Amino acid sequence: MNAKPGADSDPLSSLIRLSGLSGSLDLRCRMAGPYVVDHAASPPGEAAFHMVLDGGCRIETAAGQAICRPGDLVLLPTGTAHRVVCLGAGRDGRAWISRNAGLSVCEVPGPPELDLICGRFSYQPTAGALLFDELPDLLHVPQAELPPAVAEMIRADAASRPPGATELVTALTSVVFIIAIRRHLRNAPLDRGMLALIPDRGLAEALMAMLREPAAPWTIDRLARRAHMSRATFLRRFTAAAGRGPADLLLDIRVHIAMRLLRDSGRSMGEIAHSVGYRSVTAFGRAFMRRTGITMSQARHRQVSPEPESSLEPSMTDQEPEARSASG
């Protein structure tokens, strides 16, 4: 049985499913005065988010900032360190901050100037890297670009806190996450990478095929047919968008799927190697080790993120001969 991220019909859904994404609502923060709240970098496998319920603030990272108003969402996909800063820079007076779990509130010394929910998305650091590593440090989604019903439901439940409010708001943040990614794909100039394949219908079809059937004996010709392109056109456009060839990207997909199976299933290493397109566990073990820096056995027992590879891209002929890879 092949390892499939899910019977999804688009690559973004498959990448989200493969990453094991789940949201959690941690704190409700209310504050006033000249506050500055520093947030350390998130651990591997976590991406922080903030949503303004009322008031406003500035969220800063080393690479940029976002001015946030009621209903705005900020997502920190790479887990970068950031700070929440009051909009009245240089103000006098004393700052106060109230932090409560979930959506709860407590008595505060005065009217809050910012009401903020803080949470995080958790994901498998290995498989999630296929999606999260290609996103910017900061994604800002203004309320105007969120579905009115979603934004209003989050704010209304936070205000009245009916039974189940925390779970409902947590579930809705996952919806908002997808909206943030869609907005990024639609509006931002995309650097080369996996996400840059998605706006191109033909290349997205080829990517989807690799995600849904990682064990298939993919070749350039087969993938080109999926993309409804000639071999030369497909290879040129794929490499220009992704920044690497199909075989290299296919190996990434196979390794990340195998990493998830090693940690989340009781299947043997031979079964896992076969499920991602390798007849020999030895051959796949070598490819796995080159890509991640650890053995399959170590991956099964340790929560270790893959080490980044050299910037030199392997050629199509560098793949293990026993692997059924995307080759010419």
Residue ranges of domains in the chain? 11-187, 194-318
Residue 113 to residues 47, 55, 95, 162, Cα–Cα distance (Å): 25, 5, 10, 24
Contact (CB, 8 A) for 219 and 328: yes
pLDDT of residue 205: 94
Q: Which of 226, 297, 283, 225 is nearest to 254 (CA)?
A: 283
pLDDT digits (tens, 9 = 90+) for 148-202: 888 788 888 888 888 888 888 888 888 888 888 888 888 876 677 888 898 899 9
Q: How confident is the model at residue 23 (pLDDT cuts 50, 70, 90)?
A: confident
pLDDT of residue 312: 27
Q: Do domains 11-187 and 194-318 have the same CATH topology?
A: no
pLDDT at 313 over 50: no
The residue behind tokens 């936070």 is 158
Percent of the chain with pLDDT over 70: 86
Per CATH, the architecture of 194-318 is what? Orthogonal Bundle (1.10)
pLDDT of residue 152: 82
Task: Encode burial over 304-318: b for 16+ CB neighbours within 10 A, e otherwise.
Answer: ebbeeeeeeebebee
pLDDT of residue 249: 92
Per CATH, the architecture of 11-187 is what? Sandwich (2.60)
Give the C-alpha separation, 207 to 165, whole Å. Answer: 38
Cα pseudo-dihedral 189, 127, 209, 171, rounded to 10: -80
| Whole-structure pTM value | 0.75
pLDDT of residue 26: 87
Q: What phi-psi label fits residue 102: left (phi over 0), alpha (psi between -120 and 50 degrees) or beta? A: left
Q: Which of 232, 226, 200 is nearest to 213 (CA)?
A: 226
pLDDT at 218 over 90: yes
pLDDT of residue 21: 86
**SS3 label, residue 307:** coil
End-to-end CA distance of the chain: 26
pLDDT at 203 over 60: yes
Say how far residue 43 (Cα) sits from the centre of its chain.
14
Contact (CB, 8 A) for 261 and 272: yes
* Residue 129 in tokens: 């890297």
Give the C-alpha separation, 111 to 220, whole Å. Answer: 63
Q: How confident is the model at residue 302 (pLDDT cuts 50, 70, 90)?
A: low
pLDDT of residue 167: 86
Contact (CB, 8 A) for 49 and 120: yes
- DSSP classification of residue 43: P
Task: Give the side-chain half-sphere CA count within 13 A for 226.
Answer: 22
Residue 209 to residues 203, 224, 278, Cα–Cα distance (Å): 10, 11, 17
Give the C-alpha separation, 316 to 273, whole Å. Answer: 20
Helix (H) or strand (E) run with residue 269 in it: helix 269-275
pLDDT of residue 323: 39
Q: How confident is the model at residue 88 (pLDDT cuts 50, 70, 90)?
A: confident
Q: What is the CA radius of gyration of the chain?
A: 22
Give the C-alpha separation, 102 to 302, whole Å. Answer: 31
**SS3 label, residue 115:** strand
Helix (H) or strand (E) run with residue 37 in it: strand 36-39
- DSSP classification of residue 318: G
pLDDT digits (tens, 9 = 90+) for 225-263: 999 999 999 999 999 998 899 999 999 899 988 988 888
SS (H, E, C) 137-171: CCEEECHHHCCHHHHHHHHHHHHHCCCCHHHHHHH
Give the C-alpha separation, 242 to 249, whole Å. Answer: 8
pLDDT of residue 91: 61
